[in-house]
Amino acid sequence: MTHIDKHPAGSFCWIELATTDQTAAKNFYGALFGWTPNDMPMGPSEFYTIWRLDGRDAAAGYTLRPDQVAQHVPPHWMLYIQVDAVDASAGRVPGLGGKIILPPFDVMDAGRMAVIQDPTGAYFCLWQPNKNAGIGIHSVHGTLCWGDLSTSDTDAAQKFYSGLLGWQFVSDEKDPSGYLHIKNGEHMIGGMPPSKYLQPGVPPHWLAYFLVDDVDATANKAKEMGANLCMPPMTMEGVGRMSIIGDPQGAMFAIFKSAR
């Protein structure tokens, strides 16, 4: 097991599921990824689930609020990005063309966060840790390993994220597809497909990838439990094997195993 105690600024540090059936989600992801749920009360009838692997935090989930459902917010996975100072980072968002959906606020003593929409329409969260450093494990089955940004305006996205987080967007000369890799410091953390691959009617969004030991077996297991294989297992030559899945409530995610 590879443990994480601290995330560098600009990295994906937390992953959170908003769902319509939290109990069903606990059963689904527990069976799929081996996650153990730890429920934390949030009120008389609400709770926040932190999923754990090897005793370390791996992901979290909660039930969509009635007001979110009324606004037609679908079940979804939300990526959190670490920053040194949420208030300062959020303060730069409007000048870079983005929107502050929820201004910075404290999450008890865990940390401080803000909800942001980039200039192209994709949502994400900024996180400044206090007592909760975020994901505490990586490089094993069921851990976050990548994030893809699908958007109709890749140029605007590059300017925004480079200005806000210092990310670099780099192409691979051996890859003629136009896919761009997102580089945070010395680490590749995600990518951005060409805008032509964003399906009509699908809003810009971030897609989280989870590492698995066997893509085909994991995809088949997900399907048996009621998930939808939006993209059946496929191999990317020299990269790895992957599949895109909609969980039984409709939240989208991808699974991946590296060719290396």
Average pLDDT rounded to a whole number, residues 23-36? 98
Average pLDDT over the chain reads 95
Q: pLDDT by residue (tens digit) across 196-208?
A: 888 888 899 999 9
Average pLDDT rounded to a whole number, residues 155-181? 93
Q: pLDDT by residue (tens digit) across 114-158?
A: 999 999 999 999 999 999 999 999 999 999 999 999 999 999 999
Query: What pLDDT, on a 0 to 100 scale, did the predictor assign at position 116?
Result: 98
Query: What pLDDT, on a 0 to 100 scale, did the predictor assign at position 207?
Result: 98
Assess whether pLDDT exceeds 90 at residue 85: yes
Assess whether pLDDT exceeds 70 at residue 1: no
Same CATH fold assignment for domains 7-129 and 139-258 = yes
Assess whether pLDDT exceeds 90 at residue 41: no
Domain ranges, ordered by start, for the chain:
7-129, 139-258
Write out the chain in H/E/C secondary structure.
CEECCCCCCCCEEEEEEEECCHHHHHHHHHHHHCCEEEEEECCCCCEEEEEEECCEEEEEEEECCHHHHHCCCCCEEEEEEECCCHHHHHHHCHHHCCEEEEEEEEECCCEEEEEEECCCCCEEEEEEECCCCCCCEECCCCEEEEEEEECCCHHHHHHHHHHHHCCEEEECCCCCCCCEEEEECCEEEEEECCHHHCCCCCCCEEEEEEECCCHHHHHHHHHHCCCEEEEEEEEECCCEEEEEEECCCCCEEEEEEECC
For the domain with range 7-129, which CATH number is right: 1.25.40.10, 3.20.20.140, 3.10.180.10, 3.40.50.720?
3.10.180.10
- CATH class of the structural domain 139-258: alpha beta
